Structure 1
Amino acid sequence: MPLRDLNDAEETAASIESADALSRSELLRAALMEVVERHEPDVARALRGEAPHRAMSTRLLARTLQAQAIWFQLLSIAEQNRDMRRRREVERQRGHAEVLGTFAHVFRLAADQGLGAAAVRDALVQLRVRPVITAHPTEARRVTVLERHRRIYLRLYDLESPRWTLREREDLQRAVRDEIELLWLTGELKLDKPTVDQEVEWGLYFFEETLFDAVPALYARIEQAWQRQFPGEPLELPAVFAFGSWIGGDRDGNPFVTPEVTRRALDRLRRAALERYQARLGDLARQLCVSERVLPLGEAFRAAVAAALAASGRGEALAARNPGEPFRQFIGCMRLRLAATLAADERDDPPGPDAYAGADALLADLAAMQQALAEAGAQPLAQSFVAPLEREVRCFRFATARLDIRENSQRIRATLAEVWQCLRPGTALPAADSPAWKDWLLTELAAPKRAGGAWDDLAALSPAARETFETFRVVAEARRRGDRDAVGSLILSMTHCAADVLGVYLLAKHAGLFHDATATERCVLPVVPLLETLPDLRRAPALLKELLEVPLVQRSLRLSGGVQEVMIGYSDSNKDGGYFSANWELYKAQAALTRLGERAGVRIAFFHGRGGSVSRGGAPTGRAIAALPAGSIRGGFRVTDQGEVVSAKYANRGTAHYQVELLAASVLQHVLMSEREAALAPCHAFDEAMEAISGVACTAYRQLVERPELLAYLQGSSPLEELAGLNIGSRPARRGAARSLADLRAIPWVFAWTQNRHLLPGWYGLGSGLEAFVQVRKARGLALLQRMFEECRLFRTVIDEVEKTLLAVDLDIARAFAGLVPDRAVGDSVFAAVEAEYRRTCAMVLEVTDAGEIAERFPQHRRRLARRLQTMNQVSREQVQLLQRLRAGGDDEVRTALLLSIGCAAAGLGATG
């Protein structure tokens, strides 16, 4: 597919406007102004530009900032509604196969390129797509606020219908205004820092509102599109799509994720799925009021109903309640079994014979109903009523989402170091990357597990080490309960060498996570190295080659179908080397690991640790996947959805359904076509240019971040230290007590640069890299870059996202923030470097793209930003003043106003960290 066709769906659909494209935002703004006028007339005057902010009291300024934040949120809701209407309009005018991001479109493209049904089916049934919801602290909105947004969106959806009378439309508009009034009266700020348990409930909100329905609908759309494109060709879909979660399992730097918290998270996720199925079976019982006198049923199903009634202990009552209605009787037995499963969970007992041992048993009962209806000639009823629930159970099983455990390699090494001292008191501890340490790990892994000894008696270990080991035992408990879908993988952050991964295997062995009695054969817990820094990405092939040569690892991978998952981190690699270099190193690592897997006979599956902002890997879904190395999606695809990205994608039903299909269809398109596309074909000249640009860009970036005064600059020129007051996550902003840039997490790093309108992590260094390349190679170098822009998918994607970022940078506002730095020399010096690199980057990007202005290829994005820019700039200037006042001894009113300005700016830019 040509690069010019790979703009996201929003840009591609921009030419198809509904007649009332702006009426939604006009309606919402009018309703907001009416509410504000009634409650705070002075705020309304400020919003209309009739009264200057500087003349307002701090309380009224805070209310004005709240109103501006609400307006940004309402505008986003209107735009989501507009985008959905555009996609429908494309489908109405051109057909479903013309809607980008759909399976209908991918199937049509595949057929156009000569791929037959068999090739597409083979790729489709091997598809494994897993978005993973995390509680990374980038969501500045409360769940209460999200619920209000959801209801406003639904009212806008209702208003799309032409069937309403004038009176009914006025009622709907009044309902919108009422929701906005409740939003105005709802506090924007979280008064307390959320607990991990509350974060679990935040994640479940999206499942209960949209995602439990979105995945079954996805399967239905796949099957419909398949039959239209390949009529008569069979298709048996496995569970190609499911969700993961880190909420309650991410221990990396979060002291509040204890083993007990993880245990509660697992229990809550399981209960959510079981309660959902109870409700859905209740709905199904009301729908399937099928009389056996009208629809004769086969003997097999009759026998199944009789057996279920007999085993239920309440067979006579169920039969009497629904006489002659075997489906209702059968469903009643199923609901009793689910109730028994829930009751066993409450008692913390394993499921008994009257309960479901796992999701497979429930699926078997649903399959029996589908088969009975099909055999009786009522296949459409099976497809319409039973199949959606069967798809739901296949996806969510008894877990809702598979919970990953994330732990830092330092914690694993520290725990094993204490075990070493217990086993070998008085001997020197080898270095973590030494042959001696690896030899000890391999020796312990090969030794049969014996009862007693230091591994069973943990009293000698420190509380931190015991807690780390206990987490593994929680995973083992979940699996012993028959909940093999409850836990996904152990993600090992900051993996530096193969021994780090082997250490995880050793802890898993002694926690009961090996498949055999002697604990020497296979580990049932997949271990996923997370490569985050540029040095770790560069040594990834050597690290993985060493790991895959270990027989225990080879045996363990057979349990997962010969797939080794590797997670790659976009945030820390960007913070480490800058935007351009991080993207290039990530690309090279994926390509190299894919080739390594082919040689080793192992499929490498990549887990992409992306955030919402461009600098943390955020990009339009379809374009980001299309730019991955050809053939790199082999054994599945996972990606993190974090913070505000979760609510943007999944808070509303229509958007959620589209985003789920967009992700899965984009992955399938890459699998089918990436190795056929010229834009992804290896090109030595392009690779050489990328390497040269990356080297200079990384040097320029490192020269800035290694300046000893940069932390002081960032602290002074942004609300970095004040961000903690937003209470947007349970995890601390820093990894420890140190106060260095290295210790600062990637999220607050990006958040701070976004608030002060530098947006530095999304572009800094690229201008130097491009300029140096052209200076050395002259006109031929510029011509090559322009050719790369047209023909190289990765380079084009990076330039596109940099341009969008540059458009949001405001040097005048950034200069005002820089003026807050106490040491004027530091502020002036660092800002001068930023300003010079910004101008250099803009100039070089315009040369490469041969454009007249930044981001002129993205008119929809420019319009979206323009609708916000005047208010955003005003908010940013207010934030500068509020920071000055707070740091000069401002009171709680000033602090509240500042925090509202931070949330408002985040809402306007559409991203926090």
Structure 2
Amino acid sequence: MNEELRESELEAEAGAPPLIGGISSRDAADILFDLLMDVVRRHQPELEAVFAGGANISGFSPELMARALQAQGIWFQLLSIADQNAAMRRRRHIERERGRESLRGTFDHVLADAVDEGISPKEIEDLLRSLRIRPVITAHPTESKRVTVLEKYRKIYLLLRELEGARWTERERGAILADIRDQIELVWMTGELHLEKPTVEHEVLRGLHFFDETLFEKAPEMMALLDGALKRNYPDQQFELPPFFQFGSWIGADRDGNPHVTTSVTGWTLRQNALAALRHYRERIVALARALSITERALPVPQGFRQELEHALNMSGDQQIIAQRNPGEPYRQFLTCILRKLDATTRRAEGQEARSRHAALRHADELIHELRLVERALEEANSPGIAADLVRPVRRAVELFRFSTVRLDLRENTTRTTQALQSLWWAGTGHGEGNPPELGSREWRTWLLHELTRPLTTERVIEALPAETTELIAMFAQAAEIRRGLDRDAFGSFILSMTRSVDDILGGYLLAKEGGLFLDTAGTEICAMPIVPLFETIDDLRAAPAIMREALAIPLIRRSTHWQGGLQEVMIGYSDSNKDGGFVASNWELAKAQVSLTLVGEETGTAIAFFHGRGGSVSRGGAPTGRAIAAQPAGSIRGRFRVTEQGEVVSYKYANKGTSLYQMELLASSVLEHALKSERERALRPSREFDDAMEALAGASRAAYTGLITHPDLVTYFQAASPLEEISMLNIGSRPARRFGANSLKDLRAIPWVFAWAQNRHLITGWYGVGSALQSMLEVRGDKGADLLDRMFKESRLFRLIIDEVEKILAVVDLEIASDYAGLVSDERVRDTIFALIEKELALTAKMVLKVSGSASPAERFPQFRASLAERLPTINEVNREQVELLRRFRASDNDQEREAFKSALLLSINTVAAGLGATG
């Protein structure tokens, strides 16, 4: 299930009733179902039997099956809308009945606890100064809904919210219902699938859609929520909030395995990102000017602001025109001057700078400063409410989004960077016809360090390098140019995938140097862009502490990290570590790596901050936000937190304004709470006994998991018993399913690996090996082992999170459906062997997990989750059966026209199962 629904478990446990406001969640689902059935009856009446469970799909044509799947997919989306709406009403109910401080995931809740625990205003102030939170929207291909469909679902959500009002007459209520039905019908006639594979440009515009719809408006509102919470809980203290919450993005700059991302595409992306922010600011400032119709006769103008206004009017070149248009209205006049400069800035971003007769704003800080002048003038004139409610949200929007909307991360893998570095070696002088030193050798390290200390000269002719190397260096050169131009914050970091050594990191610095990203002309002192290693597999996570200890001893890296705020960021990968070692081993190795790396930061004097590479599904780190952060090792966050927001998670979190505000506050308050409490909490206090137990559980779990994925028959089984190969045909992303075009599990990306196991209802990535691990503990330690597991379940936050999420996954696994997929494996021996292994481990895992948790059945402890799942499972099961039939027919057909018809329906079935489960990869 998707993260938004899982997070609602906290509210269910808080005791909110199922009926709040005008209609219950059940009522809303019934209303939406009836309206969907109206549309189905009108356009395809024979499909009504599919929802009643009485249809014989084997007789359906591929076209009719596609229509059935489309209707089922729409139903899943409507259910999600009803669930999101219900979750919002539960939160509002708790806030009304018990106060905002009783609502988990809010700033008030965290700060009320802080006051109770005696945390001083000074400690809060110090933490706020260092707070840095950045959700990063990635280009990972896990979202299958088109933007035009997302827009229609958003309208349905808004109309459903309208329906709750008690003021409507029957006639007006009927009109709202008709509007909802019309939107459902439009979705039916639009179709959710991309008919063609989306380009990177499509992905960029889709990402910006969420900023236009919700984030530009709601992020400043989230800051205001913290403002209010601070005033209520620390009324005698004045706090100045820095812009600690900013968004990042990989879309348009993530080259890792995506040949479609080029320097040209990244340049286009930067322009779109800038224009999105600038256009939003224009709308807000126009509205602000319209609102601030304050005459100097009614409200005296502070002398300092009057002087600033005179200066702005003189610099505008249109002093007389502006003054005559708004006579006696100083704030409108000043905002008009700002608009002239903002328009010039927009033209510059569009590449039309020569056409502007007004000076453009050099950077976002100038706009922030001018909005602050308006804000302070109103405060000095005794109108602090207007300043806080009208001007401050606009100023904060500029602080958060600047002139770039997001901080764009560059990303490439070490295979590509190493090839580029070898090209630079060949291009250097004195190497003749020989080969570069062996990677990892002392000679290779010596060359890297020599090149980094050698002043930049014109000796090397970049144009003579291979095209791939030239393109990679051009990427860094572009970043250097943009930093000096439109916005120094347009770029974030360079993420180096598949980092395996210090040499890999040094190579990143050298390429940045060649691109001109060093602050000094010679290119030997300080790199302006952070180079962030990404440790993905279990072996990489284990090697990370030693690699970073050695790296942070290198003077160039120490100087660079010191200039960057005394901070070295490290990215850790949840997806590949899970694919590599299974669920328990992945979680444990990630925790250990963070503990060790935090100690490395303390030893070296350079703090290490973590960038969490999470996905939407549980096996890719997609546990509920609040609980996942609360389970991170003590002291590993300290107010600095970056996390990827991938694919379908973005639309679940940010498509609707209320949900997006909640999700941002939840993320920020959870980081704040961890920073304040983690090193004081018993649940996160290191325990040698618990650590030894986790080590044993991880080892046993990984052994069982490895035994399955390395089985010689697994690849044959997996390819036949899942839509793995067919997923690559689904046009949900611009990148290939494999990094280098190989046809092996090793090169298969973690996303399709998880995606395919979810589609066929095996979901091994979220549970396989857990039963063997728990049984091993009990067999080896007996009653003492049982007592230890019981204490860990009650006292270890990480172990509890693992057990909870495995138990939820077990409620989704269905062996009867899985056996239907296994029937697609033609080799009976392969089919029976692999399925028997899965069946045996599943039974053991269910038995062991329920023994530990004390539940009678999977997810018994999570009523909200179970109810939502029960609503979906009958339809998901039906879609799974339809998918099996389509796979069988598609693979058996040798008629091109027939295959194409089956292909369309098959891809729609993949999309529909993903919608039902609430997650793809």
Equivalent in the alignment of 1:721: 725
Equivalent in the alignment of 1:186: 190
Q: Is residue 409 of structure 1 aligned with residue 414 of structure 2?
A: yes
2:560 partner letter: S
Equivalent in the alignment of 2:749: 745
Equivalent in the alignment of 1:453: 459
**Residue 370 of structure 1 is aligned with which of 375, 390, 394?**
375
Preserved contact between residue 16 and residue 94 of structure 2 (Cα < 8 Å): no
CA apart distance, 1:480: 2.1
CA apart distance, 1:15: 3.8
1:690-839 alignment to 2 at 5 Å?
Answer: 690-839=694-843
Equivalent in the alignment of 2:447: 440
Q: Is residue 895 of structure 1 aligned with residue 903 of structure 2?
A: yes
Equivalent in the alignment of 2:915: 907
Q: Is residue 17 of structure 1 aligned with residue 22 of structure 2?
A: no
Preserved contact between residue 568 and residue 607 of structure 2 (Cα < 8 Å): yes
CA apart distance, 1:231: 1.1
The 2-side partners of 1:133 and 1:231 are apart by: 36
Determine helix, strand or coil for the equivalent of 1:891.
helix
2:135 partner letter: P
The 1-side partners of 2:135 and 2:854 are apart by: 37
1:17 partner letter: P
1:421 partner letter: W
Preserved contact between residue 9 and residue 864 of structure 2 (Cα < 8 Å): no
Preserved contact between residue 8 and residue 620 of structure 1 (Cα < 8 Å): no
Q: Is residue 30 of structure 1 aligned with residue 34 of structure 2?
A: yes
CA apart distance, 1:782: 1.4
2:459 partner letter: G
Preserved contact between residue 495 and residue 529 of structure 1 (Cα < 8 Å): yes
Equivalent in the alignment of 1:72: 76
CA apart distance, 1:55: 3.3
1:218 partner letter: M
CA apart distance, 1:867: 0.5
The 1-side partners of 2:658 and 2:910 are apart by: 29
Pair 257,189 (structure 1): closer, same or farther in 2 beyond 3 Å: same
Pair 558,635 (structure 1): closer, same or farther in 2 beyond 3 Å: farther
User: Structure 2 stretches of 5 or more lacking a match?
Assistant: 1-5
**Residue 425 of structure 1 is aligned with which of 414, 432, 456?**
432
Equivalent in the alignment of 1:876: 880
Q: Give CA-to-partner distance per residue, 1:14-51, whole Å, 9 cap, x none.
A: 54222532111111111111111111111123323354
1:271 partner letter: L
1:52-71 alignment to 2 at 5 Å?
Answer: 52-71=56-75
Q: Is residue 386 of structure 1 aligned with residue 397 of structure 2?
A: no
1:139-178 alignment to 2 at 5 Å?
Answer: 139-178=143-182
Determine helix, strand or coil for the equivalent of 2:239.
coil
CA apart distance, 1:448: 1.7
Pair 348,829 (structure 1): closer, same or farther in 2 beyond 3 Å: farther
1:371 partner letter: R
The 2-side partners of 1:208 and 1:585 are apart by: 39
**Residue 689 of structure 1 is aligned with which of 677, 689, 693?**
693
Q: Give CA-to-partner distance per residue, 1:89-148, whole Å, 9 cap, x none.
A: 001110010111000000011112221222223222321110000120000111111001
Preserved contact between residue 65 and residue 904 of structure 1 (Cα < 8 Å): yes
Normalization by structure 1: what TM-score? 0.98
**Residue 98 of structure 2 is aligned with which of 88, 94, 99?**
94
Equivalent in the alignment of 2:230: 226
The 1-side partners of 2:55 and 2:453 are apart by: 76
Equivalent in the alignment of 2:3: none
Pair 401,119 (structure 1): closer, same or farther in 2 beyond 3 Å: same
The 1-side partners of 2:464 and 2:710 are apart by: 41
Preserved contact between residue 491 and residue 527 of structure 1 (Cα < 8 Å): yes
CA apart distance, 1:482: 4.3
Q: Is residue 300 of structure 1 aligned with residue 308 of structure 2?
A: no
Q: How high is the sequence identity, in percent, across the aligned residues?
A: 53
The 2-side partners of 1:780 and 1:443 are apart by: 58
CA apart distance, 1:827: 1.4
2:272 partner letter: R
Determine helix, strand or coil for the equivalent of 1:522.
coil
CA apart distance, 1:900: 1.3
Determine helix, strand or coil for the equivalent of 1:821.
coil
Determine helix, strand or coil for the equivalent of 1:512.
coil
CA apart distance, 1:385: 0.7
Pair 833,348 (structure 1): closer, same or farther in 2 beyond 3 Å: farther
Q: Is residue 529 of structure 1 aligned with residue 533 of structure 2?
A: yes
Equivalent in the alignment of 1:663: 667
The 2-side partners of 1:475 and 1:402 are apart by: 11
The 2-side partners of 1:385 and 1:33 are apart by: 45
1:189-588 alignment to 2 at 5 Å?
Answer: 189-347=193-351, 354-423=359-428, 424-450=431-457, 452-454=458-460, 457-588=461-592
Pair 51,705 (structure 1): closer, same or farther in 2 beyond 3 Å: closer
The 1-side partners of 2:325 and 2:418 are apart by: 61
1:581 partner letter: A
Determine helix, strand or coil for the equivalent of 1:606.
strand
Pair 574,883 (structure 1): closer, same or farther in 2 beyond 3 Å: same
Determine helix, strand or coil for the equivalent of 2:856.
coil
Pair 647,6 (structure 1): closer, same or farther in 2 beyond 3 Å: closer
Preserved contact between residue 509 and residue 523 of structure 1 (Cα < 8 Å): yes
1:87-126 alignment to 2 at 5 Å?
Answer: 87-126=91-130
CA apart distance, 1:352: 9.1
Most deviating of 279-288 and 123-132: 123-132
Preserved contact between residue 16 and residue 93 of structure 2 (Cα < 8 Å): no
2:260 partner letter: F
The 2-side partners of 1:723 and 1:51 are apart by: 26
Preserved contact between residue 430 and residue 437 of structure 1 (Cα < 8 Å): yes
Preserved contact between residue 8 and residue 622 of structure 1 (Cα < 8 Å): no
The 2-side partners of 1:869 and 1:286 are apart by: 52
The 2-side partners of 1:484 and 1:777 are apart by: 58
CA apart distance, 1:678: 0.8
CA apart distance, 1:297: 0.5
CA apart distance, 1:835: 0.9
Moved over 4 A (4+): 5-8, 348-353
The 2-side partners of 1:680 and 1:46 are apart by: 50
Preserved contact between residue 8 and residue 87 of structure 2 (Cα < 8 Å): no
CA apart distance, 1:13: 4.2
Preserved contact between residue 813 and residue 873 of structure 1 (Cα < 8 Å): yes
1:432 partner letter: L
Determine helix, strand or coil for the equivalent of 2:493.
strand
CA apart distance, 1:851: 2.1
Determine helix, strand or coil for the equivalent of 2:724.
coil
The 1-side partners of 2:237 and 2:593 are apart by: 38
Question: For this pair of structures, how many residues does the alignment match?
Answer: 906
Preserved contact between residue 66 and residue 904 of structure 2 (Cα < 8 Å): yes
CA apart distance, 1:428: 3.4
1:603-682 alignment to 2 at 5 Å?
Answer: 603-634=607-638, 636-682=640-686
2:452 partner letter: L
CA apart distance, 1:885: 0.3
Preserved contact between residue 541 and residue 589 of structure 2 (Cα < 8 Å): yes
The 2-side partners of 1:248 and 1:797 are apart by: 34
The 1-side partners of 2:10 and 2:493 are apart by: 33
